């Protein structure tokens, strides 16, 4: 028998398992294997090897799943929690900062005008401007600390 | 904390199929403990088997098994459900093994079971048998372990993914981050090696 035919058969035997072959190729291979002893042996050896490989028994370590579940839970406890509320807080803080920056000259002039109208010393209305800037930050920090404290309470 | 609550029997995921990738992606994003319990149970055998073939050591496979699930927890948000979950899971496991190996010595996956390494495929039968059967099984198993050790790890890996995990070539290529043509070439060589070592057939 032609050596090329054997090569083709050998390729198809592997291809059948790896990629699959067409119906025509399957018909040709079956016919060839029926007549060729060496290719038939190769085909059954391949089937035998794969069958043994597929049926390998592996014993799992004792309580592998339970121990892994416990470890995953413990790790989860340490991970920072995804908190949409905090994201919102940061977004509001960002917008507030931008607005504050944009309106700073107006606020300055406003406090200056009120200070002039009321006859206040310059230092007083300037302190007012400083507080105008500081108060939102102090409130936001307070909110974050309060949230942390509440979470710690829940955990305990 | 939600993680401190004793786990229920996973009622929410009772009907979860492994191809329900969107549900899995959602659960991973929210680090849902019920889902994690279920996935660890469901994939324990397959993931452990894959790691055992990669590392050729039960202890290492066990370490990487746990490490893989911790990584899944930490990076769960990255899973978008477009891939099969097992492909993503195996990619994480594989990368962990490769990272460890690169730290150990900067060589390829081939050296995972190099001849200098005293590792054997420590696989055992689950079913108990009579002493004689056990002895024969043990012998047979040791033969198979020794046979598989002769196959380079890169080939063994694709053989596991194709013939034990029944993955498609494209999925294997995704796990390995290699072109499909490389996967095919490794599979052809791997299958030939497997045939030769398992049956003692001529190369």
pLDDT (0 to 100) of residue A18:
95
Q: Which residue do the tokens 């769960």 mark?
A: B76
Judged on CB neighbours under 10 Å (0-12, 13-18, 19+), B169 is: middle
Q: Model confidence over A15-53: pLDDT tens digits? A: 999 999 999 999 999 999 999 999 999 999 999 999 989
The total of other beta-carbon atoms located within 10 Å of residue B150's CB is: 14
The answer to whether the Cβ–Cβ distance between B188 and A17 falls below 8 Å is no
Q: Model confidence over A84-94: pLDDT tens digits? A: 667 787 888 78
What would the two tokens of residue A90 be?
């940061």
Closest residue in chain A to residue B2, using alpha carbons only: A77
Q: Which residue do the tokens 């710690």 mark?
A: A152
Radius of gyration, alpha carbons of chain B = 18
The answer to whether the Cβ–Cβ distance between A76 and B73 falls below 8 Å is yes
User: Cα distance from A49 to chain B (closest Cα, Å)?
Assistant: 5
- Which of A82-91, B62-71, B72-81 shows the lowest mean pLDDT across its residues? A82-91
Cα(B105)–Cα(A135) distance, integer angstroms: 57
- Say which residues have a Cβ less than 8 Å from residue B113's Cβ, sequence separation at least 6: B56, B119, B149, B152, B153, B156
CA A127 to chain CA centroid, nearest Å: 48
Average pLDDT rounded to a whole number, residues B164-180: 93
pLDDT (0 to 100) of residue B17:
58
What would the two tokens of residue B60 be?
């290492």
The answer to whether the Cβ–Cβ distance between A58 and B163 falls below 8 Å is no
| Phi, psi angles (nearest 5°) of residue B31 | 50, 50
pLDDT (0 to 100) of residue B133:
55
* Nearest beta carbon to residue B44 from set A65, A75, A79: A65
B38 close to A (CB below 8 A)? no
ipTM of predicted assembly, 2 dp: 0.72
A156 or B174, higher pLDDT:
B174
How high is the mean pLDDT of chain B?
78
Q: Which residues of A touch B187 (CB under 8 A)?
A: 18
Share of chain A above pLDDT 70, in %: 94
Residue ranges of B 171-190 with Cβ closer than 8 A to chain A? 184, 187-188
A114 or A137, higher pLDDT:
A114
Cα(B5)–Cα(A4) distance, integer angstroms: 67
Check whether B14 has a pLDDT greater than 80: no
Radius of gyration, alpha carbons of chain A = 39
Closest residue in chain B to residue A74, using alpha carbons only: B3
Q: Which residues of B touch A82 (CB under 8 A)?
A: 30-31
* Nearest beta carbon to residue A77 from set B1, B164, B188: B1
Check whether B69 has a pLDDT greater than 80: yes
Q: Model confidence over B82-95: pLDDT tens digits? A: 888 999 999 999 99
- The class level of CATH for B19-108 reads mainly alpha
pLDDT (0 to 100) of residue B176:
92
Q: Which residues of A touch B64 (CB under 8 A)?
A: none
* Nearest beta carbon to residue B191 from set A18, A58, A154: A18
The total of other beta-carbon atoms located within 10 Å of residue B70's CB is: 18
Task: Please name which of A5, A29, A140 lies closest in space to residue A86, comparing C-alpha atoms.
Answer: A140
What is the reported pTM?
0.66
User: Cα distance from B165 to chain A (closest Cα, Å)?
Assistant: 9
Average pLDDT rounded to a whole number, residues B175-201: 91
């Amino acid at each position: 028998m032609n050596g090329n035919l054997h090569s083709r058969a050998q390729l198809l035997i592997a291809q059948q398992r790896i990629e699959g072959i067409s119906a025509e190729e399957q018909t040709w291979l079956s016919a060839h294997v029926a007549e060729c002893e060496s290719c038939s042996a190769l085909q059954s050896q391949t089937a035998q090897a794969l069958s043994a490989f597929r049926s390998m028994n592996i014993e799992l370590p004792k309580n592998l799943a339970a121990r892994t579940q416990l470890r995953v839970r413990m790790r989860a406890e340490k991970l920072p929690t995804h908190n949409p509320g905090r994201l919102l807080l940061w977004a509001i803080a960002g917008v507030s900062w931008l607005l504050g920056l944009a309106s700073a000259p107006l606020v300055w002039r406003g406090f200056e005008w009120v200070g002039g109208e009321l006859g206040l010393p310059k230092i007083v209305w300037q302190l007012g401007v400083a507080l105008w800037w500081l108060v939102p930050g102090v409130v936001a920090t307070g909110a974050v600390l309060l949230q942390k404290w509440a979470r710690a309470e829940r955990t305990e | 904390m939600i993680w401190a609550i004793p786990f229920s029997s996973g009622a929410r995921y009772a009907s979860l199929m492994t191809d329900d990738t969107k549900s899995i992606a959602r659960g991973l994003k929210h680090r849902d403990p019920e889902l994690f319990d279920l996935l660890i149970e469901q994939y324990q055998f397959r993931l452990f088997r894959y790691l055992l073939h990669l590392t050729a050591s039960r202890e290492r496979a066990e370490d990487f098994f746990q490490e893989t699930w911790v990584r899944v927890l930490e990076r769960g948000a990255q899973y978008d459900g477009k891939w099969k979950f097992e492909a993503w899971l195996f990619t994480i496991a594989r990368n962990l093994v490769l990272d460890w190996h690169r730290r150990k010595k900067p060589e390829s996956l081939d050296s995972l079971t190099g001849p200098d390494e005293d590792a054997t495929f420590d696989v055992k039968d689950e079913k108990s048998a009579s002493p004689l059967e056990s002895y024969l099984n043990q012998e047979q198993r040791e033969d198979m372990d020794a046979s598989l050790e002769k196959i380079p790890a890169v080939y063994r890996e694709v053989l596991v993914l194709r013939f034990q995990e029944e993955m498609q070539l494209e999925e294997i290529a995704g796990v390995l981050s290699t072109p499909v043509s490389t996967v095919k070439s490794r599979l052809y060589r791997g299958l030939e090696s497997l045939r030769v070592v398992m049956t003692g057939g001529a190369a």
